[in-house]
């Protein structure tokens, strides 16, 4: 494909543009010049007639005869002719008409009064003839004709233009090609770097340079993409390790319990304990796998959410009630500050329950015994503002951005069970409700998770 590259298309467009613009400019000038030249010839013809009328008035027939001869000799007998015609159009006095026979053979229309200008192109004459015929007061007619050689001027103009036009096209085309190629060189550079990235080299960013703002923006965007991809890959590696670890632990535990029960001469109660452990661990596993799937579904927009009017206050109260026993077990006080009034929001009931459960689960999990958790719900700036605050260890500054990433777990929480998916799910659910989630923590005195959902 001849015009498959942007550089070639730009070259073609520029060249066409040059061509059209110069053609337009030429036509404009051409029409002007042709018009002006016509005007000049006609003005000259009228002036000649006025002169001849004066000569006739002053010098009579002899004067006119002499003027015809002098004028035609001076200009060239083949370039001008003069005639005095009687009222019926028959010649009375003429200049030398030897070169004008073919022009005058065809009868010209004669004006009844005033004057008229005609243009004739007789065979054998190089140029057309412009003829003025004026009716004089006594009814006779004065006629003057000139070879209209303005075509010669116009032709030389046309030739000059054609040369300039071709030159413009060729030079313009070459110039346009060089400019387009230079502009595209940056794109090619970025493409080559992107190809490197595509081939798996994620460590070498595209260097910045002076390739123009758009190209630099493209390069910067590629670098960000590259960083993001390598971040995701690293995250994924970490996640796979975490998931493998998290999945292996319960399976190992189940196997251990089963093995011990089998090798021992176990009684019915031991088998029962084993079954309980297996059920608990299986539930944990299934829960974790479900969370991974749910998160993927929400992020891909595949999860069906039933958006309806729900009472958020009721959802909060129920969730707190559900976590009350777990909090009590760990000697944590769990307080809820929700007004008595219903708090209607548009949302998916199950997802909102999941969101709260994850925040409460974390709060109970990370807050040490004797701690406090407070859940509040109020309205602020057209949003439902839900906060879950605890006085646990808080979240160090370097973790605050990342805890919402999938599978990210704080270093301090390695010893605590979890899979790093809870907050990612909270964020996805908040976003599907057009809301946000943020954390407020000084990294020492507990943390406060704030979820905003537009009302
Ligand atoms: P998980 O709880 O399974 O580790 P999450 O996505 O729920 O995963 O949380 C991510 C990380 O955020 C946790 O590993 C922990 O470091 C930090 N975090 C979450 N909630 C709290 C909290 N209430 N107090 C302190 N740290 C928290």
Structural domain count of the chain = 3
CA-proximal residue: ligand 1, atom 14 (nearest): 409
Q: Cα–Cα distance between 314 and 186 in angstroms, integer?
A: 59
Per-residue pLDDT band at 116 (split at 50, 70, 90): very high
Q: Is the pLDDT of residue 357 over 80?
A: yes
Q: Distances in Å between the alpha carbon of 338 and those of 318, 381, 384, 441?
A: 12, 17, 12, 22
Q: Is the pLDDT of residue 442 over 90?
A: no
Mean of pLDDT values over 366-391: 94
- What's 267's domain CATH number? 1.10.287.130
- What's 101's domain CATH number? 3.30.450
Q: Provide the pLDDT for residue 233.
A: 83
Single residue among 269, 300, 331 that ends a domain in this structure: 300
Q: Compute the distance from residue 412 Cα to the ligand 1 centre, in Å.
A: 9
Q: Provide the pLDDT for residue 170.
A: 92
Contact 354, 429 (CB under 8 A): yes
Residue 203: inside a domain, yes or no? Answer: no
Q: Which atom of ligand 1 is nearest to the CA of 417?
A: 3
Q: Compute the distance from residue 420 Cα to the ligand 1 centre, in Å.
A: 7
* Residues 355, 246 within the same domain: no
Per-residue pLDDT band at 142 (split at 50, 70, 90): very high
CA-proximal residue: ligand 1, atom 19 (nearest): 362
Pocket test of ligand 1: the residue of 294, 362, 451 to mutate, having most ligand atoms within 8 Å of its CB, is 362
Single residue among 154, 174, 191 that ends a domain in this structure: 154
Contact 403, 395 (CB under 8 A): yes
Residue 427: inside a domain, yes or no? Answer: yes
pLDDT in tens, 362-372: 999 999 999 99
Q: Compute the distance from residue 125 Cα to the ligand 1 centre, in Å.
A: 103
* Residues 32, 146 within the same domain: yes
Q: Provide the pLDDT for residue 367.
A: 94
Q: Compute the distance from residue 314 Cα to the ligand 1 centre, in Å.
A: 25
Residue 196: inside a domain, yes or no? Answer: no
Q: Per the structure block, which two tokens stand in for 365?
A: 């999990």
Q: Provide the pLDDT for residue 297.
A: 80
Mean of pLDDT values over 392-402: 89
Average pLDDT, the chain: 88
* Residues 220, 146 within the same domain: no
Q: Is the pLDDT of residue 360 over 90?
A: yes
* Residues 130, 252 within the same domain: no
The larger pLDDT score, comparing residue 128 to residue 360, is at: 360
Pocket test of ligand 1: the residue of 243, 354, 366, 368 to mutate, having most ligand atoms within 8 Å of its CB, is 366
Burial (CB count within 10 angstroms: exposed 0-12, middle 13-18, buried 19+), residue 267: exposed
Q: Provide the pLDDT for residue 155.
A: 87
Q: Is the pLDDT of residue 269 over 90?
A: no
Residue 190: inside a domain, yes or no? Answer: no
CA-proximal residue: ligand 1, atom 4 (nearest): 420
- CA angle, 352 then 364 then 240, to 5°: 75
Q: Provide the pLDDT for residue 91.
A: 93
* Residues 285, 340 within the same domain: no
Q: Is the pLDDT of residue 262 over 90?
A: no
In this predicted structure, which of 156-160, 331-335, 384-388, 443-447 has the lowest mean pLDDT? Answer: 443-447
Q: Compute the distance from residue 437 Cα to the ligand 1 centre, in Å.
A: 14
* Residues 12, 150 within the same domain: yes
Q: Provide the pLDDT for residue 395.
A: 92
Q: Provide the pLDDT for residue 180.
A: 86
Q: Compute the distance from residue 423 Cα to the ligand 1 centre, in Å.
A: 7
Q: Is the pLDDT of residue 246 over 80?
A: no
**3-state per-residue secondary structure call for the chain:** CCCCCHHHHHHHHHHHHHHHHHHHHHHHHHHHHHHHHHHHHHHHHHHHHHHHHHHHHHHHHHHHHHHHHHHHHHHCCCCEEEEEECCCCCEEEECCCHHHHHHHHCCCCCCCCCEEEEEECCCCCCCCEEEEEEECCCCCEEEEEEECCHHHHHHHHHHHHHHHHHHHHHHHHHHHHHHHHHHHHHHHHHHHHHHHHHCCCCCCCCCCCCCCHHHHHHHHHHHHHHHHHHHHHHHHHHHHHHHHHHHHHHHHHHHHHHHHHHHCCCCHHHHHHHHHHHHHHHHHHHHHHHHHHHHHHHHCCCCCCCCEEEEHHHHHHHHHHHHHHHHHHCCCEEEEEECCCCCEEEECHHHHHHHHHHHHHHHHHHCCCCCEEEEEEEEECCEEEEEEEECCCCCCHHHHCCCCCCCCCCHHHCCCCCCCCHHHHHHHHHHHCCCEEEEEECCCCCEEEEEEEEC
Q: Which atom of ligand 1 is nearest to the CA of 421?
A: 6
Q: Which atom of ligand 1 is nearest to the CA of 412?
A: 16
Q: Cα–Cα distance between 422 and 234 in angstroms, integer?
A: 19
Burial annotation 226-242 (CB, 10 A radius, 16+ → b, else e) = beeeeeeeebeeebeeb
- Please report, rounded to a whole number, the percentage of residues in the chain having pLDDT higher than 70: 99
Residue 183: inside a domain, yes or no? Answer: no
Beta 333-338 vs 372-380: how paired, if at all?
parallel
| Domain boundaries, position 10 | 6-154
* Residues 335, 270 within the same domain: no
Q: Provide the pLDDT for residue 105.
A: 85
Q: Across the strands, what pairs with 376?
A: 337, 387
In this predicted structure, which of 126-130, 135-139, 206-210, 419-423 has the lowest mean pLDDT? Answer: 206-210
* Residues 332, 258 within the same domain: no
Q: Is the pLDDT of residue 234 over 90?
A: no
Q: Distances in Å between the alpha carbon of 232 and those of 41, 238, 243, 402?
A: 83, 10, 15, 12
Residue 287: inside a domain, yes or no? Answer: yes
Q: Compute the distance from residue 369 Cα to the ligand 1 centre, in Å.
A: 17
Contact 379, 364 (CB under 8 A): no
Q: Which residues does 135 contact at the CB level (< 8 Å), separation at least 6? A: 110, 111, 112, 113, 114, 115, 141
Q: Per the structure block, which two tokens stand in for 353?
A: 């329950």
* Residues 67, 47 within the same domain: yes
The pTM assigned to this predicted structure is 0.51
Single residue among 300, 326, 354 that ends a domain in this structure: 300
Contact 250, 278 (CB under 8 A): no
CA-proximal residue: ligand 1, atom 17 (nearest): 410
* Residues 110, 233 within the same domain: no
Mean of pLDDT values over 331-346: 91
* Residues 230, 279 within the same domain: yes
Residue 189: inside a domain, yes or no? Answer: no
* Residues 369, 288 within the same domain: no
Q: Compute the distance from residue 410 Cα to the ligand 1 centre, in Å.
A: 7
CA-proximal residue: ligand 1, atom 13 (nearest): 409
Residue 194: inside a domain, yes or no? Answer: no
Q: Which atom of ligand 1 is nearest to the CA of 416?
A: 4
Q: Compute the distance from residue 398 Cα to the ligand 1 centre, in Å.
A: 13
Q: Which atom of ligand 1 is nearest to the CA of 393?
A: 25
Q: Provide the pLDDT for residue 193.
A: 81
Residues with CB under 6 A from ligand 1: 358, 362-363, 366, 390, 392-393, 395, 403, 408-410, 413, 418-424, 447
Mean of pLDDT values over 266-288: 87
Q: Per the structure block, which two tokens stand in for 96?
A: 């030398």
Mean of pLDDT values over 19-27: 92
pLDDT in tens, 72-92: 999 898 899 999 999 999 999
- What's 316's domain CATH number? 3.30.565.10
Q: Is the pLDDT of residue 406 over 90?
A: no
Q: Per the structure block, which two tokens stand in for 114?
A: 């005033």
CA-proximal residue: ligand 1, atom 20 (nearest): 362
Pocket test of ligand 1: the residue of 403, 415, 417 to mutate, having most ligand atoms within 8 Å of its CB, is 403
Per-residue pLDDT band at 127 (split at 50, 70, 90): confident
Q: Distances in Å between the alpha carbon of 314 and those of 266, 339, 340, 431?
A: 47, 10, 10, 21
Pocket test of ligand 1: the residue of 394, 413, 438, 448 to mutate, having most ligand atoms within 8 Å of its CB, is 413
| Cα torsion 289, 292, 295, 297: sign | negative
Q: Is the pLDDT of residue 54 over 90?
A: yes
Pocket test of ligand 1: the residue of 409, 426, 446 to mutate, having most ligand atoms within 8 Å of its CB, is 409
Q: Is the pLDDT of residue 315 over 80?
A: yes
């Amino acid at each position: 494909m001849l015009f498959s590259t942007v550089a070639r298309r730009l070259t073609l467009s520029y060249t066409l543009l040059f061509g059209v613009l110069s053609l337009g400019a030429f036509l404009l000038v051409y029409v002007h010049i042709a018009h002006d030249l016509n005007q000049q010839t006609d003005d000259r013809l009228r002036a000649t007639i006025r002169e001849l009328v004066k000569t006739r008035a002053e010098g009579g027939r002899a004067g006119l005869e002499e003027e015809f001869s002098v004028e035609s000799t001076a200009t060239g007998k083949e370039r001008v002719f003069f005639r005095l015609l009687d009222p019926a159009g028959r010649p009375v006095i003429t200049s030398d008409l030897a070169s004008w026979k073919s022009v005058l053979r065809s009868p010209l229309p004669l004006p009844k009064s005033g004057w008229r200008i005609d243009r004739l192109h007789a065979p054998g004459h190089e140029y057309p003839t412009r003829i003025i015929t004026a009716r004089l007061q006594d009814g006779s007619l004065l006629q003057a004709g000139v070879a209209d050689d303005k075509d010669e001027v116009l032709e030389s103009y046309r030739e000059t233009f054609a040369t300039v036009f071709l030159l413009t096209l060729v030079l313009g085309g070459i110039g346009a090609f060089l400019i387009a190629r230079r502009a595209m060189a940056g794109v090619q550079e970025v493409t080559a770097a992107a190809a490197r990235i595509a081939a798996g080299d994620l460590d070498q960013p595209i260097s910045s340079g002076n390739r123009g703002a758009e190209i630099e923006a493209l390069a910067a965007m590629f670098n960000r993409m590259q960083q993001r991809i390598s971040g995701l890959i690293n995250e994924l590696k970490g996640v796979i390790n975490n998931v493998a670890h998290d999945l292996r632990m319960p399976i190992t535990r189940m196997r251990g319990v089963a093995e011990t029960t089998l090798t021992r001469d176990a009684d019915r109660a031991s088998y029962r304990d084993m079954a309980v452990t297996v059920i608990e661990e299986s539930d944990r596993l299934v829960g974790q796998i479900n969370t991974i799937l749910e998160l993927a579904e929400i992020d891909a927009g595949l999860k069906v959410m039933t958006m309806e009017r729900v009472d958020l206050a009721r959802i909060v109260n129920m969730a707190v009630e559900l976590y009350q026993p777990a909090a009590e077990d760990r000697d944590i006080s769990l307080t809820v500050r929700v007004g008595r009034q219903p708090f209607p929001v548009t949302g998916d009931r199950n997802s909102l329950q999941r969101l709260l459960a994850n925040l409460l689960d974390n709060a109970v999990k990370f807050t040490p015994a004797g701690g406090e958790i407070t859940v509040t719900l109020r309205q602020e700036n057209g949003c439902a503002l839900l906060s879950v605050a605890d006085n646990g260890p808080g979240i160090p500054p370097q973790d605050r951005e990342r805890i919402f990433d999938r599978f990210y777990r704080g270093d301090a929480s390695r010893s605590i069970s979890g899979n790093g998916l809870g907050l990612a799910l909270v964020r996805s659910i908040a976003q599907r409700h057009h809301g946000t989630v943020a954390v407020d923590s000084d990294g020492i005195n507990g943390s406060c998770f704030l979820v905003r959902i537009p009302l």
